[in-house]
Amino acid sequence: MFVGAGASRAAGYVDWKGLLKELAEDLGLDVERESDLVTLAQFHLNDMKGRDKLNKLLVDEFQESHDPTETHTLIASLPVHTIWTTNYDDLLERAYEAAGKRADVKRHAEDINFTRGRSDVTVYKMHGDKTRVAEAILAKDDYETYHPKRELFSIALRGDLTQKTFFFVGVSFTDPNLAYILNRVRQLVTVNGRKHYCLLRAPKAKDYEGADYDAVRFKHFLIDLERYNIRPVLIGDYNEIPEILKELNRRSHLRDVLVSGSAADFAPLGETKFHQLCSALGTALVKNDFNIISGFGLGVGSDVIMGAMQALRRNNDERLKLWPFPQGVSDAAKRAALWTEYRHRIISEAGICLVVGGNKLENGQVIAAGGVREEATITWDSGKIVLPIGATGHVAKELWDTVKRDPKKYFAGADVSKQLEVLGNSASSVERLVEAVIDIVKQLNK
């Protein structure tokens, strides 16, 4: 992915015009009338014979701490292993940290010579970082001397543009970096290179004075993007971006199955059949090339894990992800809030939530497991699939009753009515229950 200034602006940081407004006033210019803000920054450097004030503006702006946006959080949930960005802030790094992932951040050319072990993603900050504002790429001089000073970034970018498909997000039509980025792309790729994609919002006449002219020009700009092997994808508004990323998350995780459930009471299947089912599910999912995510639900997780392990060649296979819930928080309210946040993180890594059982003991009584119900709700709220095995009773049966009323609504239009009938019948054999689950998850992956 290539993440542009739009993502940071939505978090609360100023855009380029906001950043350079004071510099323009120093020069007796109006930033609103300037179309080339890189040249405007250069004018100020020329006038001041240095970038002291420019550096101070960057420090003042980026010492303010803003929280990552929904867009950053969704980016961190995607199975993307390389991010390029022109942004100076640390929002991406913090989003990955919050997601429990290790980011190998390349802020300066020398960072490219070293690799952080066991990292989940590499983040290239090709225009520098707020930790060294004096080296930030901002004015014309910086762009013109980019190659000799940051040659390793150019080499790395050339390799990625050749070997990977890029998805540009937050790079708008008015982004002053865009022309320079595109020129660099054109220099680094060949005519027969990979196709890349860019989300763009067309200028609208009501946006600003002169936008009607820009709207006409925009049509020609779209055609010109093809020279860079970039295919534009048009959106009506920037608030569509999180919805697009949610859909990408859903589709990219359809082979990742979260097994949600707990059991202190094994009715109506009985304890032996219940354990056999959980173990068989773990084995069948792995054998059919699906990945399993488990939070170690009482009476469920250990059997699923053991079944999966039997199908794996190595105990540390990445296709089995374990998320044991953090314990030791004595305050009930804090523990509940922590676990809710934890569930959101787990479900961001899954595409399907397979629900088994869902009960627990409280004061000697068997009651519905609220955590299992919450995981199903979060899954639905994320636009993902909940697949309940109603035959296991309790919360799973409640959820089965819901999805059975309108299967196509809850299973992305797939016809799974016959399989649901099997999953709702406690008399179904373990083999038939497992077969029905595998049939459904395979359909969802078509």
Q: Which of 413, 437, 419, 428 is nearest to 288 (CA)?
A: 437
What tokens were used for 426? 């406690």
Tens digits of per-residue pLDDT, 3-30?
998 899 889 998 888 889 999 999 999 9
- In angstroms, the CA 120 to CA 100 distance is 10
CA distances from 255 to 30, 79, 81, 290, 313 (A): 53, 12, 18, 5, 19
Number of other CB atoms surrounding residue 432 within 10 Å: 15
pLDDT of 174 reads: 58
pTM of the model: 0.84
Backbone angles phi, psi at 384, to 5 degrees: -110, 180
Q: 368: how many CB neighbours lie within 10 A of its CB?
A: 15
Q: What integer pLDDT is reported at residue 315 of this predicted model?
A: 47
Amino acid at 247: E
Cα gap 29→22, rounded to integer Å? 10
Residue 292 near residue 308 (C-beta atoms within 8 A): yes
Per-residue model confidence (pLDDT) at position 173:
59
Q: Is 80 left (phi over 0), alpha (psi -120 to 50) or beta?
A: beta
**Would you please indicate which residues are annotated as catalytic (active-site) residues?**
127
pLDDT under 50: residue ranges of the chain: 315-316
Rounded Cα–Cα distance for residues 301 and 108 (Å): 44
Measured between alpha carbons, how far is 142 from 138 in angstroms, rounded to an integer?
6
Asked if residue 170 lies in contact with residue 239, where contact means CB atoms within 8 angstroms, the answer is: no
Token readout for 44 is 């100020």
Q: Where do we find the tokens 């707020």?
A: 130
Burial 192-206 (b: 16+ CB within 10 A, else e): eeeebebbbbbbeee
Could you give the domains of the chain? Answer: 2-250 (no CATH), 254-444 (3.40.50.450)
Q: Do residues 128 and 88 touch, judged by C-beta distance below 8 A?
A: yes
Are 362 and 350 in contact by the 8 Å Cβ rule? The answer is no
pLDDT tens-digit readout, 364-380: 999 999 999 999 999 99
pLDDT at 376: 98
Closest CA to 358 of 401, 404, 308, 315: 401
- Neighbour order of strands in the sheet with 82-85: 103-106, 121-125, 82-85, 2-3, 167-169, 196-201, 230-235
pLDDT number for residue 310: 76
Show the beta-strand stretches assigned E in 337-419: 352-357, 359-362, 365-368, 385-388
- Decide: helix, strand or coil at residue 294: strand
Q: So what's the pLDDT on residue 82? A: 97
